[in-house]
Chains A and B, each alone.
Chain A
Amino acid sequence: MSDSPVALENHGQHGPELRHHFATAQQQRDAASLGMWLFLGTEIMFFGGMFLAYLIYRLWYFNEFAAGSRSLDIKLGTVNTIVLICSSLTVALGVRAAQMGKRKLLVVLLILTLIFGLAFLGIKGVEWYAKYKEHHIPGASFDASDLIRDYPQIHIDPSHEQIYFSLYFAMTGLHALHMIIGIGIFSYLLYHAAKGRYTPEYYTPIDLGGLYWHFVDVVWIYLFPLLYLIDRKPLG
């Protein structure tokens, strides 16, 4: 919209967003979508490496995983899951708004998404800080004696407990990094959406950013049970 007809002229008969090496806008959209999906495929393998480590050590050191999992704050974990799901909703609605050319709605939804994303990181930060306070960060100052005291029914080896928390921090840390990147992407999208760059004919960036955001949500959907819900049943 705000892109002037001058720009249009420079691009000959096709629209300003169609790059020269594509024949049609459809071809360009399909290429972009395929590219994004391939990228998400690589992301699956990226997290997959950690899932393998998780699987092996959870089989080996179930007790320590169970105790570590119990020590996480399930309320905050659940709230965070809900926050992310809400953000996925706003993203999905945002893509729809872009499709239909509702610029104001799109801007509002993008802002909401950013708020949810930041809320997620904030809550994550609170949880990490608690872990820091409890000396549950792996390394020289790691101390699992509180877990041994709190869960006398579970046989805990403190060094194996470090493996659980190593994985916890690696997995949630890299997930949080993806969230931060997502927030960066969405800030960019918000800026351009506010300027009215996206139209029902051209909203590929919104669509791709949305795919990325949903993917990060899906990763969390798995991380939540894998890290928080390992073993919560009443201790006998």
Chain B
Amino acid sequence: MFDNLPLWPARASAGAGNVDALYIFLVLLATFMSVAIFSMILVFALRYRRQPGRTAEQIEGSNALEITWSVVPLGIFMVIFAWGAVIYFQERTPPRDATEIYVVAKQWMWKLEHVEGQREINELHVPVGRDIEMIMTSQDVIHSFYVPAFRIKQDVLPGRYTTAWFRAIKPGVYHLFCAEYCGSQHSGMIGQVVVMEPAQYEAWLSGGNTSGSLASNGESIFQQLGCVTCHRSDTQGRGPSLAGIFGKPVQLEDGRTVIADENYIRESILSPSAKIVKGFKPIMPVFQGLVSEEQLTELVAYVKSLSAPPGAGTKVQESKVQ
């Protein structure tokens, strides 16, 4: 019977247990409170039901009670808040060395790219036990990346990157839903996450046909678009060198400092004049409309690879030349 009526979603990520724990706590709390209120109503209604000869006793109220039932719930609420906040903080803080997967959502499909270059549509293969960070953007409207078995959900927005991360702990095939209404085929924008044992995953990786890693693709776009003429790694060009900048603070011409994260790189490609690096001129052309979201992710991946410590994994080896 429970094949058709499962009452609990699969628990397939490291974070899912924490969410479930708080959820179970809240279910117990809510059940207790509901039962308490319901039975109080029931008991009062029966015990004090209208009977000939008895009159109600007029009671004005009680400040002590009012304070009690304001302060005690507030205390409990703050515990729930703190507990929920801790989980949220973990969910929103990807480990630094997480493997990145770039996601481009569009009406009505998910396009996923592994750094090694595998591209998938509506299907995501990941190994058990590895931290995975999704770097996501949308080509059109707002979508939302939702894997119930991992208890993660993150809206995917046009015009910027949002991120989410998970570590799968149980091999299997899980739903990937779009959770933000996005038009006609919103309910068709579903896919699956295939969690594999590491060995199987390696086999899958090497089996797929790839067209080069993300970073190396990004590098060739970097050459094609002529970015390399100004952003040089050997000498100081007309644009700032991009080596080692990722994740570091950047001094801007107007005195502000920003962190060079994915959104900053993205903005600097699409709208270069928005945040000019100190000491440089706003001479870079605008690439808005000239590069696709996929090309953008590849460029971002390339720029990021320039900041990876030497030997930090195979994914950046080829791009370290130059």
Q: Do A and B bind each other?
A: yes
A-side interface residues, number (CB < 8 Å): 8
B286–A155 CB distance below 8 A: no
Residues of B within 8 A of A156 (CB): 273
B282 / chain A contacts, CB cutoff of 8 Å: 155
User: A152-167: which residues lie under 8 A (CB-CB) from chain B?
Assistant: 155-160
Measured CB to CB, the nearest residue on chain B to A61 is B274
Q: Is A69 engaged at the interface, CB distance under 8 Å to the other chain?
A: no
- Judged by a CB distance under 8 angstroms, whether A204 is at the interface is no
CB distance from A152 to the nearest CB of B (A): 10
Q: Which residues of A contact B31 (CB under 8 A)?
A: none
Q: Which residues of A contact B276 (CB under 8 A)?
A: 155
8 Å CB contacts to B: which residues of A115-168?
A: 155-160
Is B288 interfacial (CB-CB < 8 Å)?
yes
What are the interface flags for B249-283 relative to A under an 8 Å C-beta threshold, 1 for contact and 0 otherwise?
Answer: 00000000000000000000001011010000010
In the assembly, what is the distance between CA of A18 and CA of B309, in Å? 84
**Chain B residue nearest in CB terms to A155:** B273
* Residue of A61, A155, A157 ringed by the most chain B CB atoms within 10 A: A155
Q: Find the B residue at minimum CB distance from A63.
A: B273
Q: Which residues from chain B contact A157 at a C-beta distance below 8 Å?
A: 271, 273-274, 286, 288
In the bound complex, what is the Cα–Cα distance between A35 and B286 (angstroms)? 52
Closest chain-B Cβ to A171's Cβ sits at a distance in Å of: 23
The CA-CA distance from A156 to B286 in the complex, in Å, is 10
Mark out the residues of chain A between 39 and 65 whose CB falls within 8 Å of any chain B CB in the assembled complex: 61, 63
Bound-state CA distance A63–B282 (Å) is 12
Q: Is the CB of A159 within 8 A of B273?
A: no
In chain A, what residue has the closest Cβ to B253?
A155
What residues of chain B have their CB less than 8 Å away from a CB belonging to chain A?
271, 273-274, 276, 282, 286, 288
A residues neighboring B (CB under 8 Å): 61, 63, 155-160
18 contacts between A and B (CB under 8 A): A61-B274, A63-B273, A63-B274, A155-B273, A155-B274, A155-B276, A155-B282, A156-B273, A157-B271, A157-B273, A157-B274, A157-B286, A157-B288, A158-B286, A159-B271, A159-B288, A160-B271, A160-B274
